Amino acid sequence: MSRILIADDDRDICELVSFKLAALGHHVIVEHDGEGALAAARTESPELIVLDWMMPRLTGLEVCVALQTDPALARIPVILLTARAQDADIQRGFNAGANDYIVKPFSPRVLASRVHAMLARVSH
């Protein structure tokens, strides 16, 4: 079982993703804005973060950059889950430190598989 932080201002998406990941046995922490996500990353020590881009207070990209600049958090893998699908956006996402990028509309089952694969990679 892994601790996974999900940050998205859309409550339905949060509920769906956390339902899918909880069903796989993960412990899920949910936040609805960037500041909350950053604070939870510091206090809850998640093993992976699923991050929306467009969020109030801090954007997902700003959270990514903040995570990268904090040595204690820089190693936490981040999956960006966003509706921004342009090549330039995807490049910006990876440049900000994201380890994977999923474009909405998305398949929750595929997201769960990617989470699983990333956790397996990190644990080795």
d(CA 21, CA 16): 9
Residue 27 beta carbon to other proteins: minimum distance, rounded to whole angstroms: 17
Q: Interface with other proteins includes 62 (CB under 8 A)?
A: no
Check residue 5 and report its DSSP letter: E
Interface mask toward other proteins for 98-117; x: CB under 8 A: ------xxxxxxx-------
Pair of tokens at residue 64: 């990514």
List C-alpha distances in Å: 77 to 4, 11, 12, 86, 89. Answer: 10, 22, 23, 22, 19
12 touches other proteins (CB under 8 A):
yes
Q: Which amino acid is at 51?
A: L
19 binds other proteins (CB under 8 A): yes
* Contact positions with other proteins (CB under 8 A) in 23-52: 23
d(CA 1, CA 97): 25
Among 3, 9, 13, 119, the residue binding other proteins under the rule CB under 8 A is 13
Report if residue 56 touches other proteins, rule: CB under 8 A.
no
- For residue 75, give both structure tokens: 């190693």
* 87 lies in the site for other proteins, by CB under 8 A: no
Residue of the chain from 10, 35, 62, 89 that contacts other proteins (CB under 8 A)? 10
Closer CB to other proteins, 83 or 117, in the complex:
83
DSSP E strands in 41-92: the ranges are 48-51, 78-82
The footprint of other proteins (CB under 8 A) covers 10-13, 15-16, 19, 23, 83, 104-110
